[in-house]
Amino acid sequence: MEVPDLVVPVREGAVNQQLRYALRSWAAHLPHRRVWLIGYRPAWVSGVGHIATQQKGRTKFANTTLAMRYACTNQEISDPFLWANDDMFVMEPIDAMPVLHRGPIREVEDYYAARASGAYLDGMRRTRQLLEELGHADPVSYELHVPLPVGKAGMLRALEAGQGVEVLHKRSAYGVLNQIGGERIRDVKVLHRGPRFDQSTPFLSTMPDSFTNGEVGRLIRTRFAKPSAYETTRRR
């Protein structure tokens, strides 16, 4: 099987150090053919494909859905491809990206409902309801902070099915509607600055603060101190 491309939606911004170290981790540990940035390309990035988009959606979710549509309709991008965010790190070598999920959406929904409210939680609830209406009892969440293997036709069908959901959880809609299965893990996003975080999988993800000021960020910067082929300078 051909090694897939790696597709990353990138928001506008001049520096994006998380992207710099994510690229270093992917270059070192995640098999892929080519990296594609959709949206913004920082000036220091080299050797990637780039699809510029007008990021004028009312929310970041609208912008990432637009980026996903571009990825699924661009003939130069492999099919399937890996969909990743710029704050996802692969800490150990892997042979290929596995399919991973977070367990039932209802459990993830309860987790978020106990801590916050807003568009993201509402989108999660409405995505679950949509999937249940389409015949998928107790659907699974794929909203993990790890790369996701995506087939183009299946994702476009999922986006079409979910077009009435303003904040569609498109990873989950895709995974459930296409019955991609996978292994359950806990989410790997580290929200805090402290030294205790789960390292039981090869994957980590950070918030801007935990990356800049936390122990997890120090670990990532130490592990990937050398620039990758995706950088035009040796600045860290």
**Measured distance CA(136)–CA(152) in Å, rounded:** 21
Q: Domain coordinates of the chain in residue numbers?
A: 5-89+101-223
Query: pLDDT value at position 79?
Result: 98
Q: Tell me if 92 sits within 8 A of 25, measured CB to CB.
A: no
Query: Which runs of consecutive H residues, i.e. helices, occur in the chain?
Result: 17-29, 60-73, 105-113, 119-133, 152-161, 170-177, 208-213, 215-223
| CA distances, 48 to each of 13, 131, 221, 228 (Å) | 17, 35, 21, 12
Q: How far, rounded to the nearest angstrom, does the alpha carbon of residue 159 sit from its chain's CA centroid? A: 16
Query: Rounded to the nearest 5°, which phi and psi values hold at 223?
Result: -65, -35
Q: Which residues contact 219 (CB under 8 A, 6 or more apart)?
A: 204
Phi-psi region of 182 (alpha: psi -120 to 50; beta: other; left: phi over 0): left
State the fold for domain 5-89+101-223: Spore Coat Polysaccharide Biosynthesis Protein SpsA; Chain A (3.90.550)
Which of 163, 177, 171 is CA-nearest to residue 132?
A: 177
Query: pLDDT value at position 236?
Result: 46
- Residue 183, classified by CB atoms within 10 Å of its CB into exposed (0-12), middle (13-18) or buried (19+), is exposed
For the record, the structure tokens of 3 come out as 């090694």
Q: Which residues of the chain have pLDDT under 70?
A: 1, 14, 57-58, 233-236
Query: pLDDT value at position 14?
Result: 65
pLDDT, tens digit, 9 for 90 and up, residues 146-191: 999 999 999 999 999 999 999 999 999 999 999 999 999 999 999 9
